[in-house]
Chains A and B, each alone.
Chain A
Amino acid sequence: MPQTWAGASTQIGHKVPSNGNPYDEVYNKGSAKTRNGRVVGLIETKHSLRPSKRTMNKSKAQQWHFRRKSKTVGHHKISQAKILRSESVAPPPVFRFCQGGAATDFNAAVQDPAIAIPDYNFLKRRNTPLLAFGRGGEQTHPRRVSQVFCNMIPKIAQIHLVSSHSEVYDPCDDSFALVDALLADRASLLEHRPSICMEVGCGSGYVITSLALLLGKEENDAYYIATDVNPHAVRVTRETLEAHGCHAELVNTDIASGLEKRLAGSVDVMVVNPPYVPTPEEEVGCYGIASAWAGGENGRRVIDKILPVADKLLSEKGWLYLVTLAANNPLELCLQMRKKGYASRIVLQRSTEEESLHIIKFWRDLDTLLEANECVRLNKTENGVVMESMPFIPLSIWKQGNRNIN
């Protein structure tokens, strides 16, 4: 059975040897070994591994970004990548993330893609040969597998067509995770038939382009709108959209300032990849690329600014996809949104060396709203006794026949 990793980005990382300079082995030999010497390794650029004086003097957020940028497998990021294999190596896992958390039989997955959700971006980016196992454990032919995959994979933005700029945040693990979450939810999104889709903080345009492509034009022509506070980002997004043949309205504004009044209660799908890195407060809202990641205390400053705006803009059937870190306290976020009548679900969870990403989906739910109102009413009559009425379970997912089950 193929082995699954909880966070297969760890393969980019390295096993630290017990003696000597931990970086020498990787730096000098130019290869990274992973645990038990079984798994493929990638060569890192030296910047990502050895903390140098260049990174030491920078702020924590910049260091984080600097290390992160070097690890991104983009068309211009990694200088050299080798895949090492030994005789006894198990083939790299096809599935990084599956609903339910377990690797499933590949054949079943081919018939019903809803069972297992391969990390398409990961597979395409890492150049991993697509090997898989049949029911009896025998390997299927790689070409047939990759052909099947190519037909199955819905279109998303291609990394080599995404524009870039020195002051604009390039697509990274968080962007890929968000797009993977959207891909996983694609069937529900198509059934949802959104008429207005919005992205706050479009950056390079990778996510809004992917959303436009995966929703397609034939069945569902929606009005796409993307905003960003960084003017370079909006320009880069425009170039990315043009390169993919998509169109979206672009506005250079702070979150949705200027659009809130007219779009109130109109947005059906909202996707946000906010600046979530915990940083010192003074780094929040700085001009330039730092505004793409600086999130203040617990990384929550900008998220807390965005959520009320999202509440105002989302329609009755509106959905919000939000990228968060474990450090942002996603549980507290969900509870906060629950008080306003939003049910929530973590649609994708991905752990890398440096961060544990949670993509949360929020949607308005009448039952949650009624419970929230009930709690408020009971709080008032009980003279301020706080009622934590139930443990945090998104109740909607257990209900049968509820259209909002996602």
Chain B
Amino acid sequence: MRLVTHNMMSSNIKGVANGFPLLIEAAQVVEKEVDFNADFLKNIFARIEWKALVEASKTMGYSELLDNVESSMLDSEEFLRKFHHALLEIHLEEGALVCPETGRKFPITKGIPNMLLHEDECTVFVLTGHDLYHSCGTPGVLKALSIAVY
């Protein structure tokens, strides 16, 4: 799992107000070389939460990223290289992602994070009109709390 993905993930547990960013417990970190593409980095820069990326890369053992950035720094090749390395070349093979509020761990095995929730952690899913579909949870309680999605 690369840090670009970590930057896109948040805790999906029911009742969590702000599940981003997930804390990282790194058991095995691997560095794999990836082709450098400046355009891709410039495109994705807008979507990246920089602070989360810096903290995550420090946890993984890479502390070259600066804390404060501006978009003008995107013109600098050196900055782009560091950005590229942190975002795309550091892989978390084994470890866990931790929800910042509940402390629940989402394991990562062979680089694949498992975000599947247990029954008691799910949120309600409601379909249009009169159709109610419960992904999990007790029907009685959830019917009372149902919120229309459409």
A258 partner, pick from B11, B110, B111, beta carbons under 8 A: B11
Are the CB atoms of A259 and B9 closer together than 8 Å?
yes
Are the CB atoms of A253 and B115 closer together than 8 Å?
yes
Q: A353: CB under 8 A from chain B? A: no
A249 partner, pick from B1, B116, B135, beta carbons under 8 A: B1
Are the CB atoms of A251 and B39 closer together than 8 Å?
no
Chain B 16-70 interface residues, beta-carbon cutoff 8 Å to A: 19-20, 34-35, 37, 39-40, 43-44, 47, 49
Contacts A/B (CB < 8 Å), 17 sampled = A223-B44, A229-B116, A234-B112, A249-B4, A250-B112, A251-B5, A251-B115, A253-B115, A253-B116, A254-B117, A257-B12, A258-B115, A259-B9, A262-B7, A262-B49, A304-B128, A304-B131
Residue numbers of B with Cβ under 8 A of A are: 1-2, 4-5, 7-12, 19-20, 34-35, 37, 39-40, 43-44, 47, 49, 106, 110-117, 125, 127-128, 131, 133, 135, 149-150
Set of chain B residues within 8 Å of A235, measured between Cβ atoms = 110, 112
Are the CB atoms of A221 and B116 closer together than 8 Å?
no
Are the CB atoms of A305 and B9 closer together than 8 Å?
no
Q: A260: CB under 8 A from chain B? A: yes
Are the CB atoms of A304 and B5 closer together than 8 Å?
no
Set of chain B residues within 8 Å of A222, measured between Cβ atoms = 40
Set of chain B residues within 8 Å of A263, measured between Cβ atoms = 8
Within the assembled complex, what's the spacing in Å between the Cα atoms of A41 and B128?
46
Are the CB atoms of A259 and B133 closer together than 8 Å?
no
B39 to chain A, nearest CB (A): 7
What 10 A-B pairs are tightest by C-beta distance, nearest first?
Answer: A253-B115, A258-B115, A258-B12, A249-B5, A221-B40, A262-B8, A257-B12, A221-B37, A252-B114, A261-B10
Set of chain B residues within 8 Å of A223, measured between Cβ atoms = 4, 40, 44
Q: In the complex, how many residue pairs between chain A and chain B have their CB atoms under 8 Å apart? A: 89
Within the assembled complex, what's the spacing in Å between the Cα atoms of A405 and B78?
41
Are the CB atoms of A266 and B125 closer together than 8 Å?
no
Set of chain B residues within 8 Å of A234, measured between Cβ atoms = 112
B43 partner, pick from A195, A251, A254, beta carbons under 8 A: A195
Are the CB atoms of A305 and B125 closer together than 8 Å?
yes
Closest to B2 in A: A249
Q: A301: CB under 8 A from chain B? A: yes
A251 partner, pick from B9, B19, B117, beta carbons under 8 A: B9
Within the assembled complex, what's the spacing in Å between the Cα atoms of A235 and B109?
10
Chain A 20-66 interface residues, beta-carbon cutoff 8 Å to B: none
Closest to B4 in A: A223
Q: A308: CB under 8 A from chain B? A: yes
Are the CB atoms of B35 and A252 closer together than 8 Å?
no
Given A195-B44, A254-B116, A221 and B39 contact (CB-CB distance below 8 Å)? yes
Within the assembled complex, what's the spacing in Å between the Cα atoms of A207 and B94?
26
- Please count how many residues in chain A sit with their CB below 8 Å of the partner chain's CB atoms: 33
Set of chain B residues within 8 Å of A340, measured between Cβ atoms = 150
Q: A129: CB under 8 A from chain B? A: no
Q: A327: CB under 8 A from chain B? A: no
Closest to A254 in B: B116
Are the CB atoms of A251 and B12 closer together than 8 Å?
no
B79 to chain A, nearest CB (A): 19
- Please name 6 further chain A to chain B contacts, defined as beta carbons within 8 Å, in addition to the given A195-B43, A250-B111, A259-B10, sorted by A numbering: A225-B5, A247-B34, A253-B12, A254-B116, A259-B9, A262-B10
Closest to B48 in A: A262
Given A223-B44, A250-B112, A252-B113, A308 and B9 contact (CB-CB distance below 8 Å)? no
Are the CB atoms of B113 and A251 closer together than 8 Å?
yes
Within the assembled complex, what's the spacing in Å between the Cα atoms of A253 and B8?
13
**Most A CB within 10 A of own CB, among B5, B11, B19:** B5
Given A251-B5, A258-B9, A260-B12, A301 and B115 contact (CB-CB distance below 8 Å)? no
Chain A 60-105 interface residues, beta-carbon cutoff 8 Å to B: none
Set of chain A residues within 8 Å of B7, measured between Cβ atoms = 262
A10 to chain B, nearest CB (A): 36
Are the CB atoms of B8 and A259 closer together than 8 Å?
yes
Within the assembled complex, what's the spacing in Å between the Cα atoms of A250 and B112?
6
Closest to A263 in B: B8
Are the CB atoms of A217 and B35 closer together than 8 Å?
yes
